[in-house]
C-alpha cells in the first residue's frame, strides 16, 4: 500500500514503550499524538521495532500499542516511486513470530559492532586477541544455525573458513591506533569538541566532523556519503545512512557516555542500542516526521538529514 496523500509519522521505539498500559507517560503521549490528527497521519513502525519488540519478555504489549494507534508496517521496496511500502494489520504476525534467517543474520551483524567499539577505544582494557577468540566462537555457533535455516544447502566448512579468514585479516590494533590518533587526546579536548558540536547548526555538523578527521579521510567520507544526495547514489543501498549516522555518533554527536562506562556487557548493550537508533533514523528518513523521546537521537537525525538532503523533520516529543 502507498498513499501519497497521507502524512507519515515514524515513532521511535521509546515512544512505543511509553505507550504501553501502565506507563506513566502514556496518557500525556496519547494527548500529544492527537495534536497531529489534523494531518490525517499514518503512524508507522519498521523491522527495527519488530526486532526490539520480539526481544521483550511480553511482545504482545507492543502489538496492543500498535493496534491502538492503527500502526502500519513500513519497509523498503523498489516497487514504488518512493522506494518503500506500508501495510496494515501486521504487528501480531511479525512480533509474535520466531526470528527468521534475515533477523538472525542482523543479530550476528550487531554482534560484530564490538569490533568498531574496540577500534574507537571504548572497551577498556580488552585485548584484541581476546576479542578475536570471542568472535571465532560466535562464528562456530552461527554456522550450524545457518545450515539448519538453509536446510543443509550451505557448505558450512567453506563458509566458516571465509568468515574466519575475514576476521583474522583485520589488524585490530592498527585500526585502533589510527582511530585514537585522529581523536581528541584528553578529556579537556573532548569537552571542547562536544561544546563545538553542540553550538553548531544541524547543517554544519557533518562538515565539521569530516574536517576534524583530516583532508584524506574527509575526501573518502564525502565519496562514501555524498552531500544532498538522498535517496540516490550510495543512499539507495539500505544501510548507507545508518553508516553516516553511526559515524557521527562515534565522533560525539548525540553522545551517550554509557557506551564507555561499566562492565563489558553494559558497554556492548548500550553500543548496540545506539546502532539500533541509527537504523531507526534511516527508516524514519522515508517518512514526513520522526518523533522520539531521545534528544540525542534527534540531534543525530537532524545532522544526518541536513547533510544527506533528507526532508524528514526530526522532533523531540
What burial class does residue 27 get, using C-beta atoms within 10 Å of its C-beta: 0-12 exposed, 13-18 middle, 19+ buried? exposed
Give me the half-sphere count of Cα atoms (radius 13 Å) on the Cβ side of residue 306: 16
Does pTM top 0.95 for this prediction? no
- C-alpha 182/C-alpha 200 separation (Å) is 21
What burial class does residue 62 get, using C-beta atoms within 10 Å of its C-beta: 0-12 exposed, 13-18 middle, 19+ buried? buried
According to the model, what pLDDT value does residue 2 have?
Answer: 46
Local confidence pLDDT in tens for the 317 residues of the chain? 444 558 999 999 999 999 999 999 999 999 999 999 888 999 999 999 999 999 999 999 999 999 999 999 999 876 655 678 999 999 999 999 887 777 777 777 788 889 999 998 889 889 999 999 999 998 888 888 888 877 777 788 898 899 899 999 999 999 999 888 877 778 888 888 889 999 999 999 999 999 988 899 999 999 999 999 999 999 988 899 999 999 999 998 988 777 888 888 889 999 999 999 999 999 999 999 999 999 999 999 999 999 999 999 999 99
Amino acid at each position: 500500500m502507498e498513499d501519497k496523500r497521507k502524512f507519515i509519522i515514524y515513532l521511535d521505539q521509546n515512544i512505543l514503550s511509553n505507550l504501553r498500559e501502565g506507563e506513566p507517560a502514556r496518557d500525556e503521549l496519547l494527548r500529544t499524538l492527537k495534536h497531529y490528527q489534523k494531518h490525517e497521519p499514518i503512524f508507522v513502525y519498521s523491522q527495527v521495532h519488530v526486532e526490539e519488540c520480539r526481544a521483550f519478555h511480553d511482545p504482545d504489549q507492543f502489538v496492543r500499542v500498535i493496534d491502538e494507534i492503527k500502526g502500519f508496517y513500513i519497509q523498503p521496496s523498489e516497487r514504488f516511486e518512493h522506494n518503500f511500502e506500508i501495510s496494515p494489520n501486521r504487528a501480531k504476525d511479525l512480533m509474535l513470530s520466531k526470528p527468521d534467517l534475515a533477523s538472525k543474520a542482523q543479530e550476528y551483524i550487531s554482534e560484530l559492532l564490538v569490533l568498531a567499539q574496540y577500534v574507537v577505544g571504548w572497551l577498556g582494557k580488552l585485548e584484541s586477541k581476546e576479542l578475536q577468540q570471542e568472535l571465532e566462537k560466535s562464528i562456530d555457533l552461527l554456522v550450524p544455525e545457518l545450515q539448519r535455516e538453509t536446510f543443509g544447502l550451505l557448505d558450512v566448512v567453506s563458509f566458516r573458513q571465509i568468515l574466519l579468514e575475514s576476521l583474522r585479516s583485520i589488524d585490530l590494533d592498527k585500526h585502533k591506533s589510527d582511530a585514537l590518533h585522529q581523536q581528541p587526546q584528553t578529556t579537556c579536548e573532548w569537552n571542547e569538541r562536544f561544546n563545538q558540536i553542540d553550538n553548531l547548526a544541524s547543517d554544519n555538523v557533518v562538515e565539521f566532523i569530516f574536517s576534524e578527521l583530516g583532508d584524506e579521510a574527509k575526501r573518502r567520507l564525502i565519496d562514501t556519503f555524498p552531500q544532498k544526495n538522498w535517496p540516490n547514489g550510495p543512499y539507495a543501498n539500505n544501510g548507507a545512512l545508518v553508516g553516516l549516522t553511526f559515524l557521527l555518533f562515534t565522533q560525539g554527536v548525540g553522545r551517550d557516555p554509557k557506551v564507555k562506562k561499566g562492565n563489558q556487557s553494559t558497554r556492548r548493550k548500550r553500543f548496540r542500542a545506539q546502532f539500533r537508533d541509527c537504523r531507526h533514523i534511516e527508516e524514519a528518513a522515508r517518512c514526513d516526521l520522526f518523533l522520539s523521546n531521545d534528544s540525542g537521537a534527534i540531534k543525530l537525525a537532524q545532522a544526518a538529514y541536513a547533510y544527506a538532503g533528507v526532508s524528514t523533520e526530526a522532533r523531540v516529543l
